[in-house]
Amino acid sequence: MSINASLFGVPAVLAYLAAAWALLISAREDYLATDDPPRWRVPTLAFGWIAAVLHGLASTGDIDAAGAINLGFLNALSLTTLFIVGVLLLVALAKPVEKLGIIIVPLAALALTLKVSIPLVSPVPKDYSWPMRIHILVSMLAFSLLNVAALQAILLALQEWRLRSHQMSRFNRSLPPLQTMARGLCCSPSRW
């Protein structure tokens, strides 16, 4: 474990937990009855960005001075959750999809906690060629985008099912309207 992982990892986990707490509190408020934008959106995104930056700084130890990348299991898991959080935060700047963080943010905190707290014998960092590095980066970004899209599709299906069965929960009322959710990341009816 590098000094960066321990120095930036713990504050990143705390920021992730603060973002998760803000998301849980925001899940209790009716989306249409709140301000525009909802008052918990800014603190949630702020804690999320702080956590993502600290998580990124904690992960800099995965790349050594020569540019070799350590892709041990916990390092790869941590980097993957960092990419997923990054994709979610970037999309949340334009669309109201931050509620997906209720699932994603605690998973990122857990992955980073495992990385920081469990000393594993890591494989020797491997110096990949530049095409392989680009392939790894694009693969992780694609996987992250697919994860966010899949979670949004699940949330959209749950919201539609609840609406059709007339079982509106407090969490359902905290979500944006169904049409707004459908126009989100990838589930737009115009793309079907």
First-to-last alpha carbon distance for the chain, in angstroms, is: 46
Percent of the chain, pLDDT > 70?
73
Q: Which residue has the tokens 């899949």?
A: 150
Q: Where are the alpha helices (DSSP H) in 27-129?
A: 41-58, 73-92, 101-117
pLDDT for the residue numbered 97 = 79
Average pLDDT of the chain? Answer: 79
Contact, 49 vs 89, CB < 8 A? yes
Q: Which residue has the tokens 């979670």?
A: 151
Tens of pLDDT, residue by residue over 127-182, are 778 788 788 889 988 988 888 888 888 888 887 887 788 777 767 666 676 666 66
Mean of pLDDT values over 14-36: 79
Instruction: Count CB neighbours of 84 within 10 A.
Output: 27
Q: Which residue has the tokens 């959710």?
A: 181
- The answer to whether the Cα torsion of 137, 139, 144, 148 is positive or negative is positive
pLDDT for 110 beyond 90: yes
User: Domain coordinates of the chain in residue numbers?
Assistant: 3-191
pLDDT for 112 beyond 70: yes
